Amino acid sequence: MNPAAVQARNPTADSPRPVATLDADAVRFLFYRQARQTEIGIDPEARGPVALIDRSKSGPFAEKLLALIVKNGGASAKTRFALSLVGALGDDAVVETLENIATEGRNENAVCTLGLLGSMEAARALDRIMKVFRTKYPNVRETAQEAFDAIADRLEMTPFELADTMIPDFGFKAGRLAVSGHKPPMFVVIGGDQKLAYVDAKGASIKPPKTLAAKPKVATMPTLSAPGMVMLRWRR
């Protein structure tokens, strides 16, 4: 990782001073302080420097840091110090990876990191995680609910208000919906004619298998499952 990718923003909008780049010593200081944390969160002495970092510039740094975490043991208790910086400095580019880690590995550390990100996309991911674990693994579901509530509080909203403002994505990620259990990967997209179409992992148009063509999974009308929450029911 290149520390030059992390930049500090000006203390005030009217400051004539140029944006400063954090050097290796400053980045080491952040890791040193975070190593003292046993849970995912920003160390009190690191909050000041972190608050001065321009998050619009720190996303690539956090993305590379998350890649190193995944490569070296994954999201675990031993890597919480680094996950905290991913959550504090990352952007929506890390949401999908964290969501996959959370759902596939029932990983509460990834869930907490999403809560630290604090974005609407992170809130949507947490909402999907809660739906995945609505009948099992309550520890993951409850952690996701706490992280969702934390994002709502940060945005000065109630959890119901936050849920109500989210536009339902019906499971689509980056404009496409993965077809469950199909290999090689196949996705459903909404074409220029506003109709559903099938594409491969590279985005090339393909024909659906006969099994899907005969009995496609289609969405019925959304039904309200709780105040402000919309659940999409799928017919097999």
Q: Tokens 């990718």 belong to which residue?
A: 5
**Sequence-separated (6 or more) residues with CB below 8 Å from residue 73:** 79
- Identify the residue with better confidence: 183 or 161: 161
What pTM value is reported for the model?
0.66
Query: Coil, strand or helix: which one is 184?
Result: coil
* Six-digit token string for 119: 């974005």
Average pLDDT over residues 183-210: 84
Model pLDDT for residues 28-87, shown as the tens digit of each residue = 999 999 999 899 999 999 999 999 898 888 999 999 999 999 999 899 999 999 999 999
Cα→Cα distances 83→88, 123, 220, Å: 9, 17, 38
Task: Please give the Cα distance from 106 to 16 (Å, whole number).
Answer: 48
Q: State the burial class of residue 6 (Cβ atoms within 10 Å of its Cβ: 0-12, 13-18, 19+).
A: buried
User: Do 96 and 113 contact (CB within 8 A), yes or no?
Assistant: no
The residues pairing with 200 across neighbouring beta strands, listed in sequence order, are 186
Please, how many CA atoms are within 13 Å of residue 103, restricted to the half-sphere of its CB?
16
Average pLDDT over residues 191-220: 72
Model pLDDT for residues 143-155, shown as the tens digit of each residue = 999 999 999 999 8
